[in-house]
Amino acid sequence: MRAVVKASPGRGLDYSESIPDPVPGTGDVVVRVEATSICGSDMELYEWTAMAQAMEPELPVVAGHETAGVVTEVGADVRRVAIGDRVALESHIFCGACGTCRRGDAHNCERLRVLGFNHDGGFADFTCVPESVCVGVPESVPPETAALLEPFGVAVHALQRAGLQRVAGASVLVNGCGPVGLFILNLASALGASVLAGVELNPYRRGLAEKAGAIGIDPGAGGVTARCEELGLRRPGFDLAFEASGIDGMVTPLLQSVRREGTVVTVGHPGRETPIDVARYINKKGVELRGIFGRRVWDTWDLALDLVSGGRIDPSWLVTHRLAFSEVGKAMELLRSGAGKIILHPGGKNSSL
């Protein structure tokens, strides 16, 4: 089959047309991939950055984890999923038996494996996954939109972590207007946020934030904190802030930009340790600092599906390019220069919007 593989440490991904078709184990299903989208972490894997290495990839591995398709084979012990089912994939493969899973936090399983890093992922004609990570998708949700449920779910989880009930009327700041940051802005708007601001150095993505209804802030024009102060918010600082860039050193500017007793949620993964002045910001200012990893299983997925299938939010507005697996190198260049969400199709649709 065709697939995009991270074969060895170092820069790059390899396209191959001779990868063996997967064979399901007793509890596995084989999914024919209809659409899969490129995540920032796929770029990190391509570049072999510190962030990618921290995921401890098991090489060689088929890349990709934002995937949707149709079930074509099932293992002997599979009971919940049937051949012909349309599914999106939860990229966090959990054991279901450890203490964390039993407490309802399977997204942070003690034996966690991640599609495209520790388990063959979705940049392929077919992928084989445990039945437990398959999410049924209604016919009303197109394949591309189904593939975007995984990253959209990260945004949903970020708002859940901040407190959904606290968003209505709140001022919301997002640092990093890649797809997840833009989805956070979309969702915060839908939930009734009073002020939206998006910090982004890339002018193309800053423009997308403005299209989503946010005030675009260029962090290079005077610094994040100073620019936020210029907005003249009714309260001295933002109520909620989200760090979605993963850029080193960006947590402190957000701690400075929220009000006393405000909340900062970290989503992006910095490449190295981030120093924080705990006494100044956490203790004395009273800022609540929280982090997320992936999506909660399964309340995040339920909410994401309800919002998308009910027509409240359409994440496909961010799709700007559709390419074949063989064009993965071109896709990475597009992401560097300015693109929204790039969808890979097995055969390729070779189009841009």
The tens digit of pLDDT for each residue in 17-29 reads 999 999 999 999 9
What is the average pLDDT score of the chain?
A: 95
- We report the CATH number of the domain holding residue 8 as 3.90.180.10
61-75, 131-145, 170-184, 219-233: segment of lowest average pLDDT: 219-233
- Give residue 223's pLDDT band: very low, low, confident or very high (50, 70, 90): confident
Q: What total number of domains does the chain contain?
A: 2
Over residues 318-337, the mean pLDDT reads 94
- DSSP helix/strand/coil, 282: helix
Residue 56 lies in a domain: yes
Same domain, 109 and 225: no
| 300 inside domain | no
Statement to judge: residues 21 and 138 lie in one domain: yes
Mean pLDDT of 309-317: 95
Determine the 3-state secondary structure of 3 from DSSP: strand
> Is residue 304 assigned to a domain?
no
State mean pLDDT over 320-330.
96
Whether 245 maps to a domain, the answer reads: yes
Give CA–CA dist 274/252, Å, rounded.
9
% of the chain surpassing 90 pLDDT: 90
Domain identity same for 127 and 84 = yes
For residue 282, pLDDT over 70 is answered with yes
pLDDT of residue 293: 97
Q: Enumerate the β-bridge partners of residue 30.
A: 73, 128
Element (H, E) at 196: strand 195-199
Residue 353 has pLDDT above 60, yes or no: no
Q: Which residues pair with 183 in a beta bridge?
A: none
Report if pTM > 0.75.
yes
Portion of the chain with pLDDT greater than 70, in percent: 98
What six digits make up the tokens of 145?
């939109």
Q: What is the mean pLDDT of residues 269-296?
A: 96
Residues 137 and 10 in one domain: yes
Contact 4/19 with Cβ under 8 angstroms? no
Strands of the sheet containing 14-16, edge to edge, are 14-16, 3-6, 61-62
pLDDT at 271: 85
Q: What is the pLDDT of residue 236?
A: 86
State residue 337's pLDDT score: 83
Is residue 302 one of the residues assigned to a domain? no
Q: How far apart are CA 262 and CA 266, in angstroms?
A: 14
Domain range for 133 is 3-147+314-352
In this structure, what CATH number is given to the domain that contains residue 257? 3.40.50.720
Residue 100 DSSP code? H
What CA–CA distances, in Å, run from 173 to 87, 204, 265, 290, 298? 33, 18, 10, 15, 27
Task: Please give the pLDDT value at position 231.
Answer: 79
19 and 3 Cβ atoms separated by less than 8 Å: yes
| pLDDT for position 349 | 66
Domain presence at residue 296? no
Averaged pLDDT for residues 198-212: 94
Residues 280 and 326 in one domain: no
Is 299 within the bounds of a domain?
no
50, part of any domain: yes
